[in-house]
Amino acid sequence: MNERGGTVLVVDDEPNAVKVLSSILAGEGYSVLASEDVDGAIRLIFREEVDAVITDIRMPGKDGLQFFEYMAENHADIPVIFLTAFGTVESAVHTIQRGAFNYFIKPPDYPKLKSTLAKAVQQRQMKRELGVLRRNPPGKNNGYPSTGNTPQMLRIFETIETIKDSESSVLICGETGTGKELIARSLHYSSKRREKPFVAFNCSAIPRELVESELFGYEKGAFTGATCRRIGRFEEASGGTIFLDEIGELELPIQAKLLRVLQEKEIARLGSNMKVNVDFRLVSSTNRDLSVEVREGRFREDLYYRINVVQVRIPPLRERRDDIPLLAGEFLKEFCVRENKTVTLSSQVMEIFRGYEWPGNVRQLRNVIERAVALSKDNSLDLRDLPEELNQESKGLQTSDSRKTLKEVELLAIRDALEKCNGNKSKAAKVLGISRKALYKRLSDEGNCF
């Protein structure tokens, strides 16, 4: 069953052929439209959102080749699969060279047809999603980021919905790379403060001697090099949200000043005694256990309770492996848009993704996919596109393969090549580095079981 569904248009002048194929496809979960002539098919294409077309070639009036010319000119993003008799194979091959997705000789091998159709629909739906992303590129994460549908993440989204318009401070806890800033942005851009600034400040990335001036600002002449007035991050965030990333890195003297700002909602720039009122909501994050930091005297207890009114804990990626396909899919779309490519993830890569521990969490997954898309030369990401840190998982998979016989490995390679080439045996032979005659012989030896 095709879990993603899709709408398929069947075009054939033989009513029984249309009825049989429509029934088979409906059983696979597709919505099926049918027409017995090309003009009717064009009208359906105009009215309905179609993901793929399966059409006969020989039909009275306008034939399938004329229909393909229309599709190539007006709907080139919709894949077309031909059904043909032996006498029109040459015409079908010609259309493949012109961009048709594939062809089958009547009566078709239905399992192979279903497999090819699933790939065609997946390709069409991905192109549609990429088009949406190009029109609406990721930016401020208005609304909730699609970072998961596991129970842990759904509880986080529920919490965001509950507290989005509250003035209470929020502490987001989680390992490095889990997406703490993404959750902070989601909280801001779903709140009543969404039209005001979201100011992020990484407490661990700024030299200690500059933290105070960055947060509170300074007047001209406040110190050597202060040639003009500069407002700090709290003033920048007035009316909106300030996000203090890795707040546990702040030193105790700055913690004391931060506590006063939170209590009074006013700041004084360095070099000035004038108080400036600031209206902000505080969202903080940490990868440390701040309760331990408090016990060991490295973090102020009063500040801890002030920032930890509502706590949101983001689980590491290894604790929510069911979200990996969703995350991987979103990152894949993002980088396909940027690189102007259309690629998919192979089942082997996804298997490795799900088994890997991801010490760098979501950030590491994103970087792995960015690298793979940038370097990819095919329309599918596979094991050779993975970086060194995932090699151990790859080796484990290869060790399992090494227990297979040579013939089994060869058959797997042929099957993989045919899958990548959408069943095109000539292309598959080139990928495998063997002659087309040699490929046909191997297929014949196995009873053409591919």
Helices (H) and strands (E) in the chain, counts: 19, 16
For the segment 78-89, what is each residue's pLDDT rounded down to a tens digit?
899 988 876 556
Model confidence at 137, pLDDT cuts 50, 70, 90, reads very low
User: What pLDDT does residue 187 have?
Assistant: 92
Asked whether residue 343 carries a pLDDT value surpassing 80, the answer given is: yes
Compute CA distances 10 → 4, 17, 20, 83, 180, whole Å: 19, 10, 11, 10, 48
User: pLDDT of 351-407, one tens digit each?
Assistant: 889 889 999 999 999 999 999 998 888 778 878 888 877 866 555 444 444 444 545
Higher per-residue pLDDT: 118 or 444: 118
The pLDDT score that the predictor gives to residue 203 is 93
| Buried b or exposed e, range 156-166, using 16+ CB within 10 angstroms | bbebbeebbee
**84 strand-pairing partners:** 105
CA distance between the termini of the chain: 19
Structural domains in the chain, CATH included, are: 7-135 (3.40.50.2300), 151-315 (3.40.50.300), 405-450 (1.10.10.60)
Mean pLDDT of the chain: 83
Which range, of 92-96, 238-242, 253-257, 380-384, averages the lowest pLDDT? 92-96
Give the number of other Cβ atoms within 10 Å of residue 429's Cβ: 21
Q: Are 33 and 48 in contact (CB under 8 A)?
A: yes
